[in-house]
Amino acid sequence: MFYPWWYVSGLTAPMLIAIIAVVHVIVSHYAVGGGILLAMENHHAIKTGNGKLREYWKKHAKFFVLLTVVFGAITGVGIWWTIGLASPLATEILIRIFVFGWAIEWVFFVVELTAAFAFYYYWDRLPPKTHAVIGGIYAIAAWISLVLITGITAFMLNIDGVLGDWSKTGDFWHAFINVQWLPQTITRTGIALMFGTLYVYAHATIVLRDDENTRVQVIRRMNKPFLCGLILVLAGFVGWFVHLPEISRVVLERSAALNVLSGLFVAAIVLIFILAVLGPMRDPKTINGGFAVCLLLFGIAALATGEFVREAVRKPYIVDRVVLGNQILVNDVERFQKTGFLENGYWTSLSLQKQYPQLWHAENEDRFAENELLHYPKEERLAAGRMIFMHHCNNCHAAEHGLSAIGPLVYGKTQTSLVQTVKHLNNVITMPPWCGNDAEANLLAEYLLTLAPNAHPTKENVLP
């Protein structure tokens, strides 16, 4: 309500965030897991004096640096751009709470980038021991950035602090060390390791096509990190589930789509495990590029569904119990319900004052006379309804046809029933409560009616 709305035509803003975020996590988990593997394996190659192995890891490092630094950094910044536009209030709140966390994160990010470049470009020019240390510095810095960012994303799902109640103290550490932080850090570390090995399988089988001996050595060394990653993922997943806020648990249990997706996530992990055991772990010689790339694709599918479920169970909040999915502070809901939605928003109130000065009474607590607006011409009522929709519903429902369109959801309803739906919005658990007054519910319902598709499936229009 303090910011203008933003609409991405055809796609909707949440979908745009989802796409960029999924691409980003695919790369960023590799940036951590792949970094740990590179550091370990480079160290191993130096220790055993295995020149061929070391040569392979140099090639891997080139691929790694290009992918993670270039792509990872661009999509990472892309996420901040899009969430800043799509969820400005939530982004503002997070920046206020976590500015110190981000400052530390940036320090580690700079360390990480410097170490990554030094690791690759000075590969043959540094004494091996120093080179191994730089690999280690990269791996640790990358993992610490994962730990820091997870503190913030975990807080969005559950604000309950381990050290104290953030909602009472406003303390940074109470926010950062929340009940979801450890489980999510463990899961993400596990995913990073598993994912790192899948990238290595794919890269090594293709690059070392003609060098079976080295290929087998590289692949065999991945067994431990893979299994270790799997155990961490499962352990963290249990912790995540145990520490879900009550509302998220209900959302998870009630939504068929989320149940299917959670099932797919677990199935994909199990499938990857079985394929890895039967393939590269049983006999590293047998796996070829195609098999390894398929394994990586399954990994990407698992990660994408996992992230989707993690995001979806947070509804109706963007930040648990602080900011609702439509950019409204939980603390503001009651006031909005009492005095009206439009008059309490920054941009919407300016618009009302300009358009309806005769209905604006700055001296009253309830400044705008919404009831009067109900007697105005239809176009003006619909314009007001649309303004409510764009600020109150647009974050999750599109006015246009296509993805997340509201039309089909209001199909077949009457204005009276829509008023009831709107006034009891949070009967659907994933929706925020209605944050306006009765007159505004009427205005919105009238506008919603115009969005409903009118194609009734009859014999005439269905059969040729």
The alpha carbon dihedral of 15, 17, 23, 26 has a sign of negative
| Alpha carbons 46 and 48: distance in angstroms, whole number | 6
Cα 447 to chain center, whole Å? Answer: 31
Residue 393 binds ligand HEC (CB under 6 A): yes
For residues 248 and 421, which CB has a smaller minimum distance to ligand HEC in the complex? 421
| Alpha carbons 206 and 199: distance in angstroms, whole number | 11
Shortest distance (Å) from residue 441 CB to ligand HEC: 9
Shortest distance (Å) from residue 393 CB to ligand HEC: 3
What lies within 8 Å, CB to CB, of 17 at 6+ separation is 79, 82, 83, 86, 87
What mask of x and - would describe binding to ligand HEC in positions 404 to 423, judged by CB under 6 A? --x--xx----------xx-
Cα–Cα distances in angstroms (integers) from residue 27 to residues 17, 91, 439, in the given order: 15, 23, 49
Closest CA to 243 of 330, 147, 161, 144: 161
Q: Which residue is nearest to ligand HEC (CB)?
A: 325
Amino acid symbol at 221: R
Shortest distance (Å) from residue 370 CB to ligand HEC: 15
For residues 141 and 387, which CB has a smaller minimum distance to ligand HEC in the complex? 387
Cα 116 to chain center, whole Å? Answer: 26
**Residue 33: phi, psi to the nearest 5?**
-65, -45
- Candidate ranges 103-111, 352-360, 369-377, 429-437; the one touching ligand HEC (CB under 6 A): 429-437
| Alpha carbons 216 and 388: distance in angstroms, whole number | 62
Instruction: Single out the residue of 28, 395, 437, 442 in contact with ligand HEC (rule: CB under 6 A).
Output: 395
Write out the two tokens for 46: 């130096």
Instruction: Single out the residue of 29, 203, 221, 397 in contact with ligand HEC (rule: CB under 6 A).
Output: 397
Closest CA to 441 of 412, 421, 461, 411: 421
Instruction: Single out the residue of 43, 203, 392, 423 in contact with ligand HEC (rule: CB under 6 A).
Output: 392
Shortest distance (Å) from residue 268 CB to ligand HEC: 24
Shortest distance (Å) from residue 202 CB to ligand HEC: 36
Instruction: Single out the residue of 430, 440, 443, 447 in contact with ligand HEC (rule: CB under 6 A).
Output: 430
Residue 68 binds ligand HEC (CB under 6 A): no
Q: Which of residues 303-332 bind ligand HEC (CB under 6 A)?
A: 315-316, 325-326
Instruction: Single out the residue of 258, 303, 396, 398 in contact with ligand HEC (rule: CB under 6 A).
Output: 396
Instruction: Single out the residue of 10, 428, 450, 456 in contact with ligand HEC (rule: CB under 6 A).
Output: 428
| Alpha carbons 390 and 384: distance in angstroms, whole number | 10
| Alpha carbons 146 and 332: distance in angstroms, whole number | 33
Shortest distance (Å) from residue 336 CB to ligand HEC: 12
Cα–Cα distances in angstroms (integers) from residue 59 to residues 64, 206, 315, 354, in the given order: 9, 12, 43, 64
Residue 431 binds ligand HEC (CB under 6 A): yes
Q: Which residues bind ligand HEC (CB under 6 A)?
A: 315-316, 325-326, 392-393, 395-397, 406, 409-410, 421-422, 425, 428, 430-432, 448
